[in-house]
A and B are shown apart, each in its own frame.
Chain A
Amino acid sequence: GAGVSQSPSNKVTEKGKDVELRCDPISGHTALYWYRQSLGQGLEFLIYFQGNSAPDKSGLPSDRFSAERTGGSVSTLTIQRTQQEDSAVYLCASSPGTGFVTGELFFGEGSRLTVL
């Protein structure tokens, strides 16, 4: 597609439920990143994919968080047993990859998650 697409744009869920957030990167971009943006805070790194593999999962806040990427394209971030502190905007970004030294990240508009 023309840009990074994220869905849903808004999600309201009850504490304890599982949620899935989807990211569709720009076609051909091999690198994909997930960040979390909480109110009044900066962007918190969650996970990075190069192709389908995730060499860096260090940012995932707990084992309730997981992410996968299939076919080197679409990625899904799953949060199990959601807690109120998970409420945030989840941002996805893609990049042509480390072979292209532009360093530019292309961001989606985010998925706003509210846990009641």
Chain B
Amino acid sequence: AQSVTQLGSHVSVSEGALVLLRCNYSSSVPPYLFWYVQYPNQGLQLLLKYTSAATLVKGINGFEAEFKKSETSFHLTKPSAHMSDAAEYFCAVSASNFNKFYFGSGTKLNVKP
């Protein structure tokens, strides 16, 4: 079975500050891990993904995430927040057959000027 836990339903940072969104997963098989972003009134779009290659994954808009098997974590970071980063972020896990993706409950990121 697979599941995802996102700590913090709301995170608020100042513009220019570090963004850290936490994701922990549970998987009985080697996982594939994803971060999706949902901007207001838009559909979800892929931010980045881990598919067993490099453990540090770079995505769009300056975001990156590191797969840490020992911690079962896949936290999302960005060195410097921008106002345009305000959105809801979802972590997801899937097995290799991609039959089902399990999503976390989401973290809403607020960026203060």
Instruction: Please list the residues of chain A having a beta carbon within 8 angstroms of any beta carbon in chain B.
Output: 3-4, 31, 33, 35, 40-43, 45, 48, 50, 55-56, 59, 91, 93, 95, 98, 101, 103-105, 107-110
Residues from 5 to 22 in B contacting A, C-beta threshold 8 Å: 6, 9
- Residues in A whose Cβ lies below 8 Å from that of B32: 103
Contact A42 B105 (CB under 8 A): yes
Are A4 and B43 neighbours in the complex by a CB distance under 8 Å? Answer: yes
A43:B99 contact, CB within 8 angstroms: no
- Cβ–Cβ contact B103 & A35, under 8 A: yes
Please, how many angstroms separate the alpha-carbon atoms of A31 and B99 in the complex?
A: 9
B49 part of interface (Cβ distance < 8 Å) = yes
B100 close to A103 (CB less than 8 A): no
CB-contacts of B85-106 with A (<8 A): 90, 92, 94, 96-106
> Within the complex, which residue of A35, A101, A103, A108 is in contact with B34, where a contact is CB–CB below 8 Å?
A103
Starting from the known contacts A50-B99, A103-B98, A105-B36, 7 additional A-B residue pairs (CB-CB under 8 Å) come to: A3-B43, A42-B105, A48-B99, A98-B98, A101-B98, A103-B51, A105-B44
> How many Å lie between the Cα of A44 and that of B34 in the bound state?
16
Q: Is the CB of B90 within 8 A of A95?
A: no
Partner of A98, one of B9, B44, B92, B97: B97
B84 is an interface residue with CB less than 8 A from chain A: no
Chain B residues with CB under 8 Å of A45's CB are 100-103
Tell me, yes or no, whether B61 is within 8 Å of chain A by CB: no
Question: Considering the chains assembled together, what is the distance between the CA atoms of A73 and B44 in angstroms?
Answer: 20
B45 contacts the other chain (Cβ, under 8 Å)?
yes
Interface-centre pick from B32, B94, B99 (highest chain A CB count, 10 A): B99
Asked if B44 contacts A101 (CB within 8 A), the reply is no
In the complex the two chains form, what is the Cα distance from A115 to B81 in whole Å? 38
Chain B: CB-nearest residue to A97 = B98
Query: A3 to B6, alpha carbons, bound, how many Å?
Result: 28
Contact A104 to B46, CB < 8 A, known contacts A40-B9, A55-B99, A95-B98: yes
Minimum CB distance partner of A95 in chain B: B98
- Sampled A-B contacts (13; CB under 8 Å): A3-B43, A4-B43, A31-B98, A33-B101, A43-B103, A45-B100, A56-B100, A91-B44, A93-B44, A95-B98, A101-B96, A101-B98, A109-B42
